[in-house]
Structure 1
Amino acid sequence: MNDNLRGSLFMMGSMATFTLNDATVKYLAQGMPTFQVVFLRGVAATVLIALLAYVTGALRRPIPRRDWPWVLGRSALEVISFLPFILALTHMPLANVTAILQALPLTITAAGALFLGERVGWRRWTAILVGLIGVLLIVRPGGEDFNLWSVSAVVAVFAVTARDLVTRKLSPEVPSLKVAVITAAGVTILGLALSVRTPWQPFEVGQGGLILLASAFVLGGYLFSIMAMRVGEIGVVTPFRYTALIWGILLGWAVFSEFPKPLTLIGAALVAGTGLYTLLREGRAPVPRPVGPR
């Protein structure tokens, strides 16, 4: 098994575990207050990531003083992006949310050109525009399925794009796992702050087990994503992020009896196809590594 194959398998594992986490949280939110679920999962995920950071020595490595504003800014943007994401996740079909999030490589490429001066040729600009048309087919403004939650998913995409632009400002000396601990703690605090608005309810053993399972999925997704970026060629490995679409459709159908409408599938195909084209055009060019757990 060569490095490219290993990296591709790790990326597919990352997309599978992240989507399984989303499905688990969505399922739990049907029987528990959403932000109670977010807080409890956040506590467990933060502990797991902190333990991993401690074992690997990342927790003891200092963050350079010049990087602290970027680290805190990135964590703040992660919290800001998580709120519209979790609202969309709990009110929209899983496949739709997953498909909209796959526009991220396109929006990050466009934002890099607009704000960081990165070179993007007319072919990639065309691909970005076609991909955004795909997003419009999924969201369908003015259609009967268009609502506030569709807008929330799009807002989450733009907030994550801003987060990843800030991520590019971090120096190589910043330990990724330590940033992940800070980010996970920030999302947990968000869950706690918003959970006090609704009465908490006791949860059963099975629900507690699912919360721990979701936390394990977050940790697994993060680990797989790191391993995927450390072996093989990025241009070969990164396109396998689109396997999340398959998981979103399968889990939406199997767990929630949801199946995307034809226009949604066409839009998802446009987003994935143009994203793959953009990644192939970038070739071996560096792409931002995921730093936060989600």
Structure 2
Amino acid sequence: MSTTSADAGNNISKGIALTLISILIFSVQDVAVKMLVTDYPPTQIVMIRFWGVAVFTLLWVMREGPIRNAFRTKKPILQLSRGVLLVVDIWCFSAALQFMPLSDLQAIFMLFPIVVTLFAIPILGEKVGIFRWSAIGVGFIGAMIIIRPGFQDVNIGVWFQLGAVATFGLYTVLTRLVAQHDSTSTSMVYMAVVGVVLSTAVGVFNMVPMTLNAWLLIGLVIITANVAHTLFAMAYREAPASALQPFNFLILPASIIMTVIFFGHWIDAISLFGASLTVGAGLFVWWRERQKERVVARQVLR
């Protein structure tokens, strides 16, 4: 009995460690993208990024069997929609980086768990009680404090980032939905293929010659994207999602630190307060999810 407990603890500790490392790597990737989009079109950066990620994804999927097997899906429309949403999400985030500091964008991105909850209601049929609706309201207030409409000119980057949050939230919900019907390999291969086709169809018309330094940066983006996503997937194999979810909010302090180190910009106190409200609301949503899981587990045991 003690051995089993130790193993589970070790697995959770390993999952947390992998999550923290992946968050740090994601932050490095965002810094590299921020540097690139100051001189090159976001569509070009996203296109080349998907080329690199697609090669890695296809090689990864081929290790598990013939590639044609991964293309067999019970939900082709949903799989194609996921791919489109992910490309639009990355387009929006990359475009937002042209206009706003990374830390401010990540403060707005803290709305993500709230947005996922809202989309899960009509799509997954999840029921939301008064407590979770209250958390959604607090998260919205936090976002309004960050954006401050009416008190300052709303930066166009805000709208791009809100688009990124909305599309990634919907992408996440659809990913949960297709996971009930298709394998992870199928979801990965559709994401890669749709991403390459769509990003290339747009990016190829906005090509700008890149310097050696730019190619090194885009190489860093591709490597960090692949490594971070792999570590993230490994983390969820080591520990349950409910145990790891709170650590995803550490992307905000990581982004604040990176923004200060590389760009010398501090997030202002008002935005930090708004982000704290949004993070708190997201953590509350996570806590309610854990409570529901425990109730279901008890009912099953009975």
Q: TM-score range by the shorter chain?
A: 0.7 to 0.9
Report whether the alignment pairs 1:176 with 2:176.
no
Correspondence for 1:31: 39
Query: Sequence identity, in percent?
Result: 27
Root mean square deviation of aligned Cα: 2.3
Report whether the alignment pairs 1:275 with 2:282.
yes
Q: Report the CA distance shift for 1:32/1:73 in structure 2 as closer, same or farther (over 3 A).
A: closer
Q: Partners of 2:22 and 2:291 in 1: how far apart? A: 21
Q: Partners of 2:34 and 2:224 in 1: how far apart? A: 14
Correspondence for 2:133: 125
Alignment partner for residue 216 of structure 1, among 211, 223, 229? 223
Correspondence for 2:246: 239
Q: Please, what TM-score do these two structures have when normalized by structure 1?
A: 0.87
Residues 114 and 136, structure 2, Cα contact 8 Å, conserved in 1:
yes
Alignment partner for residue 115 of structure 2, among 107, 116, 129? 107
Correspondence for 2:96: 88
- More helix by percentage: 2
Report whether the alignment pairs 1:4 with 2:4.
no
Give the length in aligned residue pairs. 285
Report whether the alignment pairs 1:260 with 2:270.
no
Aligned-partner residue type, residue 263 of structure 2: F
SS at match of 2:215: helix
Q: Deviations over 1:29-83 (max 9, x none)?
A: 2233332222222212211222222234484533444222211121122223232
Q: Partners of 1:175 and 1:137 in 2: how far apart? A: 41
Q: Please, what TM-score do these two structures have when normalized by structure 2?
A: 0.85
Alignment partner for residue 235 of structure 2, among 221, 228, 242? 228
Residues 67 and 171, structure 1, Cα contact 8 Å, conserved in 2:
no
Runs of 5+ consecutive residues of structure 1 not aligned to the other structure: 287-294
Q: Partners of 2:190 and 2:184 in 1: how far apart? A: 10
Q: Report the CA distance shift for 1:232/1:199 in structure 2 as closer, same or farther (over 3 A).
A: closer
Q: Deviation at 1:249? A: 0.5
Q: Partners of 2:57 and 2:63 in 1: how far apart? A: 10
What does 1:156-171 align with in structure 2 at a 5 Å threshold? 156-171=164-179
Q: Partners of 1:57 and 1:250 in 2: how far apart? A: 42
